[in-house]
Chains A and B, each alone.
Chain A
Amino acid sequence: AQRVTQPEKLLSVFKGAPVELKCNYSYSGSPELFWYVQYSRQRLQLLLRHISRESIKGFTADLNKGETSFHLKKPFAQEEDSAMYYCALSCATGANSKLTFGKGITLSVRP
């Protein structure tokens, strides 16, 4: 069975500090990984997907199959990055893409 582990519940940093939100997964097949974000009083929304290899709002995430990790990183945190972040795994075959979410981590960026 697939599983997503986010080992920390809360990360508090000062503005300008680097951020790394950890995500590890367990899946025997070829995983598709995502980061979703929920800002205060907003809907949960997709931040980035590993297949796109993109930087969104300064965040990047690299899939490391050897370590089964997909950590989210940003070199210089901003106050507007404060939010709840969820790592998610899709391991569907075919088009039925269910997501398995981690427990989430709250990122707090202090001025």
Chain B
Amino acid sequence: NAGVTQTPKFRILKIGQSMTLQCAQDMNHNYMYWYRQDPGMGLKLIYYSVGAGITDKGEVPNGYNVSRSTTEDFPLRLELAAPSQTSVYFCASSYPSSAAYNEQFFGPGTRLTVL
């Protein structure tokens, strides 16, 4: 199993450009998540999904959109890139379980710079 994969690994955008960060998992996990990691700030949840066709906002959703058409894929869309979106983005997935035993599996991350 490849686990959680993310593309691209690195990207530089100009202000106002748009792009889609890809995330896929082959573990048949229902739950998927997008986080951003800023230096000294930990991970902040952007959006999450509990299954195909179901998405919901996390802590910092502004400026982003997601879709979940299949169990495997959970792309994150930036419509009008801003310097504040410069960050490392992590996708994660998990199998439904009780909160105590939940384990999230993370992708390798996408480093995005907006200039």
Q: Give A residues with C-beta under 8 Å from B.
A: 4, 6, 9, 32, 43-46, 49-51, 86, 90-93, 95-104
A6 to chain B, nearest CB (A): 8
Q: Which residues of B contact A (CB under 8 A)?
A: 31, 33, 35, 40-45, 48, 50, 58, 90, 92, 94, 96-109
12 inter-chain pairs at a CB distance below 8 angstroms, sorted by A residue, are: A4-B42, A6-B42, A43-B109, A44-B106, A49-B101, A95-B96, A95-B99, A97-B94, A99-B102, A99-B104, A101-B35, A104-B42
Which single residue of chain A is at the shortest CB-CB distance from B108?
A43
Q: Report whether A90 and B99 are in contact in the complex, using a CB–CB cutoff of 8 Å.
A: yes
Residues on B with C-beta less than 8 A from A44 are: 43, 90, 92, 106
Contact yes or no, A98 B58, CB < 8 A: yes
> Which residues of B sit under 8 angstroms from A97, Cβ to Cβ?
31, 94, 97-99, 102
